[in-house]
């Protein structure tokens, strides 16, 4: 169901909703009665498993700055129907390029154009979206959740350097934005997943289970629950935090 005039559902804008953690997140918020505006490169799928229409999907390539600018104006236009209020923005989409045969792209071999693409999608697009939707977020005293990663704070066997540093930067950005957006009533937090069962994982991740205190991979729904918590009033005094969702892997 799309937004209709007089519709008083809360609204979430979510990037990267087509699979993995984003997919679980849109299902979680829909279940709670939220309208979810999804953003990714793919077209809206008619067999979408949650109650949405193409009006609630925006096709955008976050690696293209101009396209992000267009998407922001399109989101703002679609929010007009409910008084231009946005209750949550979840910056979830990310890319993690690999070398041949899935090997880690290190700081010596990563081509500069790859590095720039990774930072555009994983770091600059979240800044652009947050700033571009500031007015709507402030109107609803909304919440921003940036999806970072455990690899932002340690070298990982599979995750590349560009990806890791983009996530570290996104965590710093979360702190800065929490300070800058807080006076407008907007909370800004991050979640840092560990090894979650999705397509982004490299073969061999199963071997890391022995180093995870809970001795298992995480599920996308477990991540979506924490994102939902951070966008709800249950976390009304949580601001500038990065929550670990990793079964204790960081200890």
Ligand X SMILES: NC(=O)c1ccc[n+]([C@@H]2O[C@H](COP(=O)([O-])OP(=O)(O)OC[C@H]3O[C@@H](n4cnc5c(N)ncnc54)[C@H](OP(=O)(O)O)[C@@H]3O)[C@@H](O)[C@H]2O)c1
Taking CB atoms, the residue at the shortest distance from ligand X is 20
- Interface residue with ligand X, options 14, 26, 62, 186 (CB under 6 A): 62
**Is 95 one of the binding residues for ligand X (CB under 6 A)?**
yes
Find the shortest distance in angstroms from Cβ 212 to ligand X: 12
As a whole number of angstroms, the distance between CA 220 and CA 55 comes to 25
Place of tokens 């570290």: 168
Alpha-carbon gap, residue 75 to 79, rounded angstroms: 6
Q: Which is nearer to ligand X, 139 or 221 (CB)?
A: 221
Cβ partners under 8 Å of residue 176, min gap 6: none
Would you say 123 or 181 has its CB closer to ligand X? 123
The verdict on 196 binding ligand X (CB under 6 A) reads yes
DSSP 18: S
- Kindly list the catalytic residues: 163
Q: Are 27 and 50 in contact (CB under 8 A)?
A: yes
| Residue 96 C-beta: closest distance to ligand X, Å | 6
Residues 1-20 that bind ligand X (CB under 6 A): 15-20
Residue 165 binds to ligand X (criterion: CB under 6 A): no
Q: Does 63 bind ligand X (CB under 6 A)?
A: yes
Distances, alpha carbon 46 to alpha carbons 18, 72, 81, 92, 209, in Å: 12, 23, 23, 22, 37
Residue 232: CB minimum distance to ligand X, A: 20
User: What is the closest distance, in whole angstroms, from the C-beta atom of residue 185 to ligand X in the complex?
Assistant: 26
- Alpha-carbon span 131 to 98, nearest angstrom: 30
Sign (positive/negative) of CA torsion 133, 136, 138, 143? negative
Q: Between 17 and 86, whose beta carbon lies closer to ligand X?
A: 17
Supply the minimum distance, in Å, between the C-beta of residue 8 and ligand X. Answer: 28
User: Could you say whether residue 199 binds ligand X (CB under 6 A)?
Assistant: yes
Specify the DSSP element, H or E, that contains 59: strand 57-59
Backbone angles phi, psi at 218, to 5 degrees: -85, 160
Report 212-231 residues binding ligand X (CB under 6 A). Answer: none
In the structure encoding, which two tokens stand for residue 65, read together?
């700055």
Q: For tokens 């994102």, what's the residue?
A: 227
Give the residue with the Cβ less far from ligand X, 200 or 231: 200
Site size with ligand X, rule: CB under 6 A: 29
State which of residues 147, 162, 173, 212 lies at the interface with ligand X (CB under 6 A). 147
Task: Please list, residue by residue across 92-107, b when 16 or more beta carbons sit within 10 angstroms of its beta carbon and e when fewer do.
Answer: bbbbbeeeeeeebbee
- Among residues 6 and 112, whose Cβ is nearest to ligand X? 112
Q: Give the DSSP letter of residue 124.
A: I
Interface ranges with ligand X (CB under 6 A): 15-22, 40-42, 60-63, 92-95, 121, 147, 149, 193, 195-196, 198-201
């Amino acid at each position: 169901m799309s937004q209709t005039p007089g519709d008083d559902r809360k609204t979430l804008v979510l990037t990267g909703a087509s699979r993995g953690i984003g997919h679980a997140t849109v299902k979680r918020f829909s279940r709670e009665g939220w309208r979810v505006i999804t953003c990714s490169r793919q077209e809206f799928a008619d067999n979408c498993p949650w109650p949405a229409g193409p009006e609630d999907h925006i096709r955008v390539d976050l690696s293209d700055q101009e396209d992000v600018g267009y998407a922001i104006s399109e989101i703002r236009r679609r929010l007009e129907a409910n008084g231009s209020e946005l209750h949550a923005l979840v910056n979830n989409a990310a890319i993690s390029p690999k070398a041949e045969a899935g090997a880690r792209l290190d700081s010596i071999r990563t081509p500069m154009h790859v590095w720039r693409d990774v930072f555009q999608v994983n770091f600059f697009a979240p800044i652009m979206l947050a700033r571009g939707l500031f007015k709507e977020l402030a109107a609803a005293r909304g919440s921003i959740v940036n999806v970072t990663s455990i690899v932002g704070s340690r070298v990982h066997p599979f995750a590349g350097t560009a990806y890791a540093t983009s996530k570290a930067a996104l965590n710093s950005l979360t702190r800065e934005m929490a300070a800058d957006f807080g006076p407008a009533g907007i909370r800004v937090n991050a979640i840092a997943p560990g090894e979650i069962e999705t397509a982004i994982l490299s073969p061999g991740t199963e071997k890391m289970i022995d180093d995870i205190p809970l001795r298992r991979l995480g599920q996308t729904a477990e991540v979506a629950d924490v994102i939902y918590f951070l966008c709800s009033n249950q976390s009304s005094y949580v601001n500038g935090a990065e929550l670990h969702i990793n079964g204790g892997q960081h200890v």
